[in-house]
Amino acid sequence: MDNVFHLLSNMYNNICTNIKIYTVMNREELKRMWLSLPTSNVVTRTILVETKYNHVTITSDGPNGFRQHKSCQDFPVTYAKDTKEYKSGEYQLVIK
């Protein structure tokens, strides 16, 4: 019986030392954690045309931030091709 108790005691101690206990973080710790997250230098630029709803969405996301413009047009493909973003050649045109 002593051996079983000793074995169970060791198992319990091993489990307790391997479990990380997370506490509630305060505002300052959350801010430090958020600001230390790695940022990506990947820039995605898309022009999404939804022909079913006549919507045009221009989206840019990268290290300088997120920007999105959505518009409802009578001729969405023509509008998308006439935008300065499309003419710059940096945006990918997606037609759904």
Please report, for the chain, how many H helices and E strands are present, in that order. Answer: 4, 4
pTM tops 0.85, yes or no: no
Question: What's the pLDDT score for residue 88?
Answer: 94
User: What's the mean pLDDT when you consider all of the chain?
Assistant: 81
Q: What is the mean pLDDT of residues 44-70?
A: 92
Which pLDDT tens digit goes with each residue over 10-45?
666 665 555 555 556 788 888 888 788 776 677 899
Q: Beta strand 92-95 with 44-50: parallel, antiparallel or unpaired?
A: parallel
Res. 82: pLDDT tops 60: yes
The SS3 call for residue 51 is coil
User: Domain locations in the chain?
Assistant: 2-35, 44-95
Distance between CA 92 and CA 63 in Å, rounded?
Answer: 18
Q: What is the mean pLDDT of residues 36-65?
A: 88
